[in-house]
Chain A
């Protein structure tokens, strides 16, 4: 295609963007708002997921051992555990160490424990970490079968709740996003409908002198793309700013919350938002051309 033809398309698209200033601004604002909300949801979901995975990877399975086992037997069991599939690390925690930990947790109220100190009721245990969260269940089952293991326990509830929350956020996010995308597409197609209407005389003449259908369509496609692109820019800026601000705040005041690093997550989010903006714009013009520009 000729350069002058593209120049023609761009000039036509620019003209109608300026001619319908109000609708142009309204469309851009809607695109921006939708993408902003989309971005916020995606960031929220990604971070919750990340937090849940981090916590899950920290899941510890504790295998409490029979009391009467001697050091060699414990050594043997530990070796057996090492050979289970999916094991990352095995730590022996003696009942004395366990009591020390308990004391630490009690902090200033540790005097409450003095009564049990003489007759330690805690058990020797093996603390096991798995390679992946998915290994937890099989490892637990494997541990239960070993002779000398009295009881197996692990903390799963909080993680399951976190994953459920992530799922819920994803689900509502998806619903909200679909609604917003629908509204955006509608507004863009309406803007372009106005352009088609404003340019009906030109379109009639173009048909008359033998312009091809795509020649007539291209300026409208470009107009839609521009609306999408222009809307994605403010959304992008706001999302990036907001996340940097949020991440800095969290790192400073709540450092134990494992937020995703801004650079890594934004690198993926930015092209996504721009791409979606353009997609929504293209979709809007496609719909409006299908309905109002029967060429």
Chain B
């Protein structure tokens, strides 16, 4: 719940839509792929080092982790087909014999398959989430703020206390 509050705060804040969208996209990648692996470390580094919105990253991570349950079999089959493709065997063999390649664990069908699926989805997720943030701020945020009930809640002590918990 705290994460959602932070997300809404970020949506309503001055953070740029791209910062939110990148956070969401990186969170999606983190959520869909297995946590153990070199790619997770690179993602964590990217999220912390670059000015990406952390709240949207954490929300997307949690959200897309739920999607892995029905998607694992499909993503594993993607990895399987790539790793067993004869034309790619020389590349994987070279990769497999290399320390960096070994650290990536891309010779695991689910790791490779989920990362490929996540990377293919990422441009769409990035553009869609950026578009949605802009639209939210233009229409929904203005409309929501005009509702009397919202104005009442935001002015109450309970909301302030709740907000405090979220922080």
Chain B binds chain A: no
> B-contacting residues of A (Cβ < 8 Å)?
none
